[in-house]
Structure 1
Amino acid sequence: MAVDAGVGIVLTSPKGDRLEYMIRLHFLATNNMAVYEALIHGLKIASELGARCLYIRDDSELVVDQVMKEASCRDEKMVTYYDEVQKLKEKFDGLELHHVLRRGNLATDFLAKLASNREHTPPRVFVNNAHELLIKLAKAPTPASDAAHAEPVAEPTVGTKMGTPDLKVAMLEPSWMMPFLDYLLQDTLPVNATEARCLARSAKIFVVIEEELHKRSPSGILHKCIPTDQGRELLLEIHADICSHHAAPRSLVGKAFRQGSY
């Protein structure tokens, strides 16, 4: 199990054009988890670029055998990763995954080492930061869920004197992402003609993946869109917490972008 690992992805077109990606993983990950992370990232990028058929080479024989249904998955994480890959396979007309020796996969291995060591990014290589797994694991039961099965409290009878409850009401502000999600998923625009034109024009740089909104940067990297409250927490963490990045607002927001959030 390693922290601050990295993966490399190389996409090659039939004409020989290459796109190279480095993704820095800021969480604990085994070698097989890192391989699955690279595979899923690569499938999503290829889908966004309009690829319909993929021939994938990887040096993890276990992951290749699992994806091609030649080996079973027993670990919960591996099963969840496998299910995610199967969902993404439906976006392509053809997809083959083949095992190669590490010496036959030197380009991606080189990028993965650069990403893992947090070294300088080579020219014409896209880099991104991943701060959480691409999969969602089932959560263990919590005390709150157990409380749902507790015996119901009897309601007071008529004439019973009741005190005034101490209520704390949280006012939720509407998410800035909802208009874009409504337009991209349901083709719904605001009633106001001016607002509708602005939204349709701005939505061209956004894309929905697995019902989550992402913004496409000029370099082609996808930034995961987050609600305003999470954005404030991220900026606060960068500014004064673990990163201790005391900088001007423009630099602070730019660092958040480079961490893969928008």
Structure 2
Amino acid sequence: MNVPALSGRLARWQVLLSEFDIQYVSQKEVKGSAIAEFIASRTSQEYEPIDFDFPDEDLMSILIREASVSNDEYWKLTFDGVSNALGHGIGAILVSSDGDHYPFTTRLNFDCTNNTTEYVACIFGLRAAIERKINMLKVYGDSALVIYQIKGEWEIKDFKLVKYKKLVLKLIKEFEEVTFDYIPIEENQIADALATFAVAFKYQSYPEQATENDKRTIRRMSSGYVLDGEVLYKKALDQVLLRCVDTKEAKSILEEVHEGICGTHANVHILVRQIIRFGYY
């Protein structure tokens, strides 16, 4: 109850219980033997011990046959690329004839245009399909330029895209049948989300000197933070986001709160709680 900011459920309970004179005491230690004796004293008379006999003890082995996905049926590939101020990312999804989804995404570490990311995303998806030994594929993308250039209906005016188209045509030969069709962006939201997700992360690798233990620690600590653009937030216990500040900002905030600009002349612990209430960490 004594957290800096109560969540909705805790606040409601605090209001409801405030009318009662409730005294909270700590739980005393209970010996394990007392619990065992309590459970034994209330054993049902109809209790039957568990039968541990294995009825099929003469069974030598069990053959488990894994369900195999047919590669002789049409699979579907959707792809998309994103290029903005934060970076460049691509996303692709392979969908089997049974409806199973296999997403792929990565961040591009070189400067390129949006059309280039679309071509790279298509190549990325085609290579993933080849690795799965898929024979028949239907490819869908929301870039009319890329789709119709691959189909040969539109000319390529940007010479930088020529090599990408040649690579696509080379990969197409690995399939028995492959088709390319344009779809609106509203029908390609999953691939677009994957590409956007890849762009959102600037750093996708651990420091070179990091050990496995260091990597686990980084993953555990990062789960408590949220990065919104260039601003880092710390997740509080009630899921309120607290903006992280550097040493200079922290000193300024401490001076303002301590001097009374924010309305307090308190000790260290109350001062820290007051700063957290203001939304800083």
Please state which band the TM-score falls in when normalised by the shorter chain: 0.3 to 0.5
Q: TM-score, normalised by structure 2?
A: 0.43
